[in-house]
Structure 1
Amino acid sequence: MKRNINNMITRLQNKLIFMGFVIGGIQSGNSQLPMKMDSTAYTQNISNSNISFDMVKIPGGTYDMGSETGNMDEKPLHKVKIDSIWAGKYEVTWEVFDLFLAENQNLFHAEPEGKLEKLDAISRPSPPFEDPSLGMGKAGFPVINISPYAALTFCKWLSTVTGRFYRLPTEAEWEYMCKTGPDGKDFFKEGGKGLDLFAWSYDNSDYQYSKVGEKLPNAHGLYDILGNVGEWTLDQYDETFYGKSKDSVSVNPWNIPTRLHPRVYRGGSWNDDVTDISPTKRSTSGPYLQKNDPQIPKSFWWYTDASYIGFRLVSPVKQPTEEEALKFWQIALDE
């Protein structure tokens, strides 16, 4: 990923433009609708494969982001407004991600020439240094040990393959779809009694991640939103970010990254104590996630020490135009 002053200036100049776009955007007439779509859920099939994944609708609303009793970077409690989005019912699994890897690109040779050109232009990860699942299992298990850049590039590839725009959630979106229910109440605080029923943690995981969907879902029907593996977001970490909007309602906030670390991941994992798994806890990336990578330079795609971090997809209800999507990838991937 290119890192220079001009890129950062361009990115910051576009920040205000994309505050609204990241969540909403303009409905594109070119998006092909997924199969089995209704007003609350849909199943996205991936052409030329028997692979599909489920998305559920998260109605927009205003909520209290943060915590009055958590860590200092979870304060102050402040109002945030989120637009409606679709969210992955499960964390992204290896079956879906493996279609993205270079050895599988021949599956899409029958696509129209224009789409093939776009697919061929998207970079693929280099081979991992070791089995990225670390022998813990792949079929039905969430993707782990990948960088935020790899997750975002996968989202760009998936958007090209399906014709529907996919990305990572912002921090604000993630917390909203984790802790609120359709009634707007804090689900895990007021209704989600017994975290063990919803989340895999160090106490019940047998020291490894589990297949998706084996615990109870939250109020929106999202499985493993807490525990199992943490989930990458779009945001760069800033411990003071919440305080910048404490006196107003923040609408679709996104702290656009300007450097590789620290990025935010959320939700806790199989490797965390129950006391460290919370809808509001903010976890951060750093070089420590690559300490066992012997390569020089270290891989930009694979993190050898992130066996507890994966990701979940979101898709705006209002789809962006092709031009808006292109600008988003230029910012999110620093292209």
Structure 2
Amino acid sequence: MDLEGIVEFGRKRSLKAMVIRNLVLQDRSRAVRALLVSASVAGLSAVVGCETGPGGDADVTRGHDHQAPLDDSGESQAHSGDAKVVPTEPIEVTVPGTSVTLTMQPIAPAVGAPFYVATTEATWDLYDAFIFNLDTDAGESTEASDAVTRPSKPYVLADRGYGHAGYGLLSASPAAVERFVEWLSIKTGRTIRIPTEAEMRYLLETSGIEDADARLASGWFEENAEYSTHAVGSRPVDANGIHDIWGNLSEYAIAPDGTWVVMGGSFIDPVADVGLDYRIPFTTDWNADDPQIPKSPWWLASNDWVGVRLACDP
């Protein structure tokens, strides 16, 4: 697909999402419908506040400077003399000042560097601690973590009414996610990052979920999600010991050139349209409905189907 085709595809997805959402709202209670319609009409203007961060902040998610993740060819980015640390057991990563502990599953590709990956998509429980400075309130912050630029705070339904506690973070922009993983890395003392595209593809390829029927049994798609995200971990784990690698929310990955793509499909996608070739580049069209000038760098007013999975180097 050429660039023009990709852009048109993204525009059609945004339109489809808005149409389906409006249809579903007709069947929801008046109170919930009023909240969601209010957020839609406002273009999520409060959610996508115009606070901006200073230029030059560290970008810790690009992959190329981390401990040898897989590149797009599946080859390790490590130098030939580097020792290869092969994790064999899951780890529990606590995040001081929050109630969240990240369970990270070891992944050891036959080719390329091993890594850890979170067993579920990142949740609002953790992201709330970041954007609302809950770690500071708990007395568990440091000068370094406090120095990280945090996104503007939402004042309407950032979760679109789908669910909050235990549900996957959605609508965060790449800029916001960069700050999020920077903050997490400082808080935990580990290199927390977004998976590379090659790592994400490996997770999909080795999930043991081979066809549409298996994906419906293990993930949330247009056919079974009732146009809503679902609580993370509510479907069985796959062959790698992780949940929702297919469906629920499409997940960010970092392409070889440092740009952002999403993979794995989401709750608005027909399961037949989701496979290993499902790869959608980030586009600013995902924030087209933001009425502010300039548009928010932190929230995606026109996208409610992209989430975050965290990775970690050994």
Query: Aligned pair in 2 of structure 1 residues 204, 3: CA closer, same or farther (>3 Å)?
Result: same
Question: Is the counterpart of residue 162 in structure 1 residue 182 in structure 2?
Answer: no
Query: Aligned pair in 2 of structure 1 residues 3, 95: CA closer, same or farther (>3 Å)?
Result: closer
Contiguous gaps of at least 5 residues in structure 2: 1-51, 71-76, 80-86
Residue 307 (structure 1) aligned to one of 301, 304, 307 = 304
Query: Aligned pair in 2 of structure 1 residues 121, 136: CA closer, same or farther (>3 Å)?
Result: same
Deviation at 1:16, TM superposition (A): 11
Query: Aligned pair in 2 of structure 1 residues 17, 189: CA closer, same or farther (>3 Å)?
Result: closer
Q: Is the Cα contact below 8 Å between 2:236 and 2:243 reproduced in 1?
A: yes
What letter corresponds to residue 130 of structure 2 in structure 1? Answer: F
Which residue of structure 2 lines up, in the alignment, with residue 49 of structure 1? 98
Residue 99 (structure 1) aligned to one of 118, 126, 129 = 129
Q: How does 1:1-335 map to 2 (within 5 A)?
A: 18=65, 21-22=68-69, 39-61=88-110, 81-107=111-137, 109-111=139-141, 116-128=142-154, 130-180=156-206, 187-189=208-210, 194-235=214-255, 254-257=256-259, 263-317=260-314
Deviation at 1:17, TM superposition (A): 6.8
Which residue of structure 1 lines up, in the alignment, with residue 20 of structure 2? none
Q: Is the Cα contact below 8 Å between 1:207 and 1:271 reproduced in 2?
A: yes
What letter corresponds to residue 218 of structure 2 in structure 1? Answer: F
- The root-mean-square deviation of aligned C-alpha atoms, in Å, is 2.8
Q: Is the Cα contact below 8 Å between 2:192 and 2:312 reproduced in 1?
A: yes
C-alpha distance in 2, partners of 1:51/1:2?
Answer: 26
Deviation at 1:229, TM superposition (A): 0.2
Q: Is the Cα contact below 8 Å between 1:132 and 1:304 reproduced in 2?
A: no
- Report the secondary structure of 2:105's partner residue: strand
Q: TM-score, normalised by structure 1?
A: 0.67
What letter corresponds to residue 101 of structure 1 in structure 2? Answer: I
C-alpha distance in 2, partners of 1:123/1:16?
Answer: 20
C-alpha distance in 2, partners of 1:174/1:19?
Answer: 16
- Report the secondary structure of 1:265's partner residue: strand
Q: Is the Cα contact below 8 Å between 2:128 and 2:134 reproduced in 1?
A: yes
Q: Is the Cα contact below 8 Å between 1:94 and 1:143 reproduced in 2?
A: yes
C-alpha distance in 2, partners of 1:55/1:172?
Answer: 18
C-alpha distance in 1, partners of 2:152/2:310?
Answer: 22
C-alpha distance in 2, partners of 1:52/1:94?
Answer: 13
Identity of aligned residues (%): 28
Deviation at 1:2, TM superposition (A): 9.4
Query: Aligned pair in 2 of structure 1 residues 222, 16: CA closer, same or farther (>3 Å)?
Result: closer
C-alpha distance in 2, partners of 1:309/1:132?
Answer: 13
What letter corresponds to residue 310 of structure 1 in structure 2? Answer: G
What letter corresponds to residue 255 of structure 1 in structure 2? Answer: D
Deviation at 1:313, TM superposition (A): 0.5
Deviation at 1:48, TM superposition (A): 2.8
Query: Aligned pair in 2 of structure 1 residues 315, 103: CA closer, same or farther (>3 Å)?
Result: closer
C-alpha distance in 2, partners of 1:16/1:213?
Answer: 26
Encode CA deviations 1:38-70: one digit per residue, 9 max, x unaligned: 832011112233221211001122xxxxxxxxx
Deviation at 1:218, TM superposition (A): 1.7
Query: Aligned pair in 2 of structure 1 residues 255, 94: CA closer, same or farther (>3 Å)?
Result: same
C-alpha distance in 2, partners of 1:105/1:19?
Answer: 26
Q: TM-score, normalised by structure 2?
A: 0.71
Q: Is the Cα contact below 8 Å between 1:230 and 1:266 reproduced in 2?
A: yes
Which residue of structure 1 lines up, in the alignment, with residue 15 of structure 2? none
